[in-house]
Amino acid sequence: MEEEKYHNLKLGERAAFISIAAYICLSVLKLTIGYVSDSAALKADGLNNTTDIIASIAVLIGLRISQRPPDKNHGYGHWKSETIASMVASFIMAAVGLQVLLNAVSSMFDGVNESPDIIAAYTGVFSGAAMYFVYRYNKKLAIKINSKAVMAAAKDNISDAWVSIGTAVGIFGSQLNMPWLDPLTAIVVGFLICKTAWDIFVQASHELSDGFDEKKIKHYQDVIKNVDGVKGIKDIKGRSYGNNEVIDVVILVNSKLDIKEAHDIATHVEKVMMRDYGVYDVHVHVEPN
């Protein structure tokens, strides 16, 4: 099972490489067309993609480090490295999102005299379509290997697709004697970048602080209660190491059982959770009732 987990992390690198390649091509295209056509929204979108390159590299590094086996300083392995990488990526995205907002607001106050060239809008439509296909691939891979980091990358991909479409809409609108719509769209792009950064930060900080889904814990509690020999549950906790779940549970068993019988029940609980629910590790403590 552990070998499969490491293999999945290796597959996750493919998603990071595809995202990096797509973002490099699209950022060059958008920034070039954005400056040629004088589109603030397209330049903002292109700048967003440059941060996505850095964010994807951070995720790639995190996936690489996560594959390292446990050592004397990391007895539980390096699984959380991908979560740390996601948090670093969120900081990078937030910094650029704020910069995009400041530039767009400044552009509005400076005044806009001409609408950007229509080629900027077509570039936005093409970019949105391209990122949608990248999103579909990464989402499918994330589900296949059960990777939160790859799923976060996929969410970033679809966010970028919508940003590009929004950029195109703003530029098309600016052709209708509303040149102010282009920098206004750049402001919306800035807010979308910041929101994506915030969502990634919230999820990463939740996992790094050992937060766990309450509904999932309740479900696991019900499952363990139905295991033969378990009379009750005194305490149950969950935490995540990357895309791996670890459960700590204190079960109550008949006080008349001998040590071996109680141990067999605990082993059965471990097998059920790991085999049927994909839990990476289960720590079971037995108490008499």
Q: Convert 28-57 into a string of H (helix), E (strand) and C (coil).
A: HHHHHHHHHHCCHHHHHHHHHHHHHHHHHH
What pLDDT, on a 0 to 100 scale, did the predictor assign at position 2? 61
| Other residues' Cβ atoms within 10 Å of the Cβ of residue 133 | 13
What pLDDT, on a 0 to 100 scale, did the predictor assign at position 235? 92
Burial of residue 192 (CB within 10 Å: 0-12, 13-18, 19+) is: buried
Is 1-209 CATH 1.10.15? no
What pLDDT, on a 0 to 100 scale, did the predictor assign at position 8? 73
Regarding pTM above 0.85, the answer is no
What pLDDT, on a 0 to 100 scale, did the predictor assign at position 3? 67
Selection from 9, 57, 13, 70 nearest residue 242 by Cα: 9
Fold of 214-288: Alpha-Beta Plaits (3.30.70)
Low-confidence ranges of the chain (pLDDT < 50): none
Find residue 283's DSSP bridge partners. 248
Selection from 25, 14, 12 nearest residue 160 by Cα: 25
Tally the residues of the chain: 289
Residue ranges per structural domain of the chain:
1-209, 214-288
The identity of residue 176, as a single letter, is L
What pLDDT, on a 0 to 100 scale, did the predictor assign at position 22? 93
What pLDDT, on a 0 to 100 scale, did the predictor assign at position 155? 81
